Amino acid sequence: MGFNKVSMCFMSILLIGYLLLPTKVIADNQWKGDNFDSYPVGALVTPPDGWQSLNNKMWYIANGGVTGNALWFTPNDSDLFVHPSDASDYTISAQIKHSLIPNNSFNAGLVGRCSDRTSYYSSYIYTNIQGTTHTTRLVLAKYWKIGSITYAVILKNIQCFVGDIVPTNYYTLSMKVIGNNITVTLSGMPTIPSVSFSYTDDGITYGPVLMGGYVGVYSEAAVSFHPYFDNFTYDRLLKTSLPWLLLLLKN
């Protein structure tokens, strides 16, 4: 009897340890994103490989990617370009060249947990101008709809560095969503360290926690603002399975 109690105690500790394991990326047999190099330069009359425009706008493949081609949005309009995801917890990233210095009226970034054009989390950077002071900021925003009303809110907004975004440079944005926790990161700045923050959506203050099944990019456009997107990545997040532990517990 004593041995059984000790065994059960040991197995309980193992199970707790397993549940507390950090989330790991499961990379086999999954869509991993797109570098947009496999498509010919020109209009994406029929978006390939599961991609779709939620506002039925035309997107393009253009030269000038980080290496090879890039996805390009040219209309003076707004749109979301999304792909189905096969999990609710994942990390997505993209490299973005803005073509103009973005502000809070026109910008481009990532989209996660998207259901449609009125329900998603987004992340972007923009340059804020206060008098003679220019600062670049990293933003996490949320859009959701209740009945006929669409809501929008900036969940968090932090300073990344003093100075303007360089419109000819590619910046890397990433968004990690696990449950109701979202982490966004800006990197790819040679002389400036990466900047990151996390936010927990309580599902009450600003509408329900979003669980939509699309990921992608977006552009809030203006005249002459035509951003480039390259090397979009998608990694779903799952705990590593431990079949040996399950067998032990069964016995």
Contact status, residue 66 vs residue 231, Cβ threshold 8 Å: yes
User: Over 60: is that where the pLDDT of 26 sits?
Assistant: no
Six-digit token pair at 160? Answer: 């990344």
- 207-246 pLDDT tens trace: 999 999 999 999 998 888 999 999 999 999 975 444 434 4
* Model pLDDT, residue 92: 98
For residue 104, what pLDDT is reported? Answer: 87
pLDDT of residue 29: 62
Q: Which whole number is the average pLDDT over 85-108?
A: 95
Q: Are 23 and 50 in contact (CB under 8 A)?
A: no
Among 80, 77, 73, smallest CA distance to 110 is for 80
Please write the tens of the pLDDT for every residue from 35-77. Answer: 999 999 999 998 888 999 999 999 999 999 999 999 999 998 9
Question: What pLDDT score was predicted for residue 28?
Answer: 55
Residues with Cβ within 8 Å of residue 56, at least 6 apart in sequence: none
Integer CA distances (angstroms), 111 to 103, 118, 234, in order: 18, 12, 12
How do residues 166-218 score in pLDDT, each as one tens digit?
Answer: 999 999 999 999 999 999 999 988 778 899 999 999 999 999 999 999 999 99
Q: Identify the residue with better confidence: 164 or 222.
A: 164
Map residue 243 onto helix, strand or coil.
helix
Euclidean distance between CA atoms 172 and 244, whole angstroms = 39
Among candidate residues 232, 69, 94, 63, the one with its CA nearest the CA of residue 171: 94
- For the chain, list the strands marked E by DSSP: 24-25, 33-34, 42-43, 52-53, 60-63, 69-72, 78-84, 90-97, 107-116, 119-130, 133-146, 149-162, 171-178, 181-187, 195-200, 214-220, 228-238
Reduce the DSSP state of residue 6 to 3 states and report it.
helix
| Structural domains in the chain, sorted by start | 23-34+78-220+230-250 (2.60.120.560)
